[in-house]
Structure 1
């Protein structure tokens, strides 16, 4: 992680000194994205007990394609893990969420700038695992929700882009069962990530 941050800062510094790369339309271009960050999950409940959730780490990647100068389609797959506990602090197990996200974004092209802000939204399919402190795996239904996101791309070159994004997922609670006891998991949450995009053409 420290190595990735160091490389990112070096790239930004070199780009700032060179001043040659300007933001460009990605119309007709295919790119790949990798990202890392933090995830703030919603609280859930198990066996009539409120579960407080910890901040988790999130990572993943996907593909992006420019449809027009301002509109792009994106598919992302991310994975996050976070712990949970009772209000008293007693450990209540760990959650894992894989989010398959299908979305679009509107990109604001700024003249003579390396920065391209964007805003978007889309559909999320949430695959959830819950492991109790005993090691027992719970059965958790698959969740379906929507997301809104906003961020900015910084064009180091016309192919290499640094990215920062905030994404909020809103989804209804899903049922879960473990050790013969029921619960409800809330898949909603907010993620903040930094990443790198690379466009092939």
Structure 2
């Protein structure tokens, strides 16, 4: 029993001592990210009626590459879906937005296994609303998040990302309106580094 306790203490000491190494620099390393979460979109309008969106679901993934000890570039594709209502309570229909996002991160010095980061970049937003035609638009994003390294090659991640984009046209035989693709997204996921 005493040997088992000593062995357990040694294992705990070794794992604590290697904890800071697990959040090592990602310089020259490539990885993949999978994420899922919630989106809070902005209001839109159709035929002068305000459209109030519901909180929706967002998910997707992408690639990340560490340029040096503090900066990384990433490419993400996410898809969000959400319903909406008119102010009088009637159903206004569902929206879908696919976001092709290219950005950079500034990664702060690791604190043990925790690596906070901030980011910004460019977004191409492809949107759909019922059977209506919605123009594609370009926007920008700012983000902040944290990676928690479980192992040197595996981290769990949480991120808040604000997407800011100009309104775009909604057109159909039933009329026209303005779609606002801006949103605030909160996601959780995993990152796996290949090398």
Query: Given the two structures, how large is their TM-score scaled by the length of structure 1?
Result: 0.87
Q: Deviations over 1:98-145 (max 9, x none)?
A: 00000000000135x1000000100000000000xxxxx101000110
The Cα RMSD (Å) is: 1.4
How far does residue 178 in structure 1 lie from its aligned partner after superposition?
A: 2.2
Q: How many residues are treated as equivalent by the alignment?
A: 180
Which of 120, 129, 141 does residue 135 from structure 2 map onto? 141
Indicate if the aligned counterparts of 2:38 and 2:187 stay in contact, CA closer than 8 A.
yes
Give unpaired runs (5+ residues) of structure 1.
1-14, 132-136
What 5-or-longer segments of structure 2 have no aligned partner? 1-11
1:1-201 matches, within 5 Å, as 18-19=15-16, 20-22=18-20, 23-111=23-111, 113-131=112-130, 137-201=131-195
Q: Is the 8 A contact 2:24 2:110 kept in 1?
A: no
Q: Deviations along 1:71-111, whole A, 9 cap, x unmatched?
A: 00000000000011111110011000000000000000135
For the pair shown, the structure with the greater C-alpha radius of gyration is 2
Deviates more, 1:21-30 or 1:96-105: 21-30
- Aligned residue number for residue 12 of structure 1: none
Question: Which contiguous aligned blocks of 4+ residues in structure 1 show a shift greater than 2 angstroms?
Answer: 17-22
Contact 1:75/1:102 (8 A) holds in 2: yes
Using the size of structure 2 for normalisation, the TM-score is 0.89
**Conservation of the 8 A alpha-carbon contact between 1:83 and 1:95:** yes
8 A Cα contact 1:145 1:171, kept in partner: yes
For the Cα contact (< 8 Å) 2:104–2:120, is it kept in 1?
A: yes
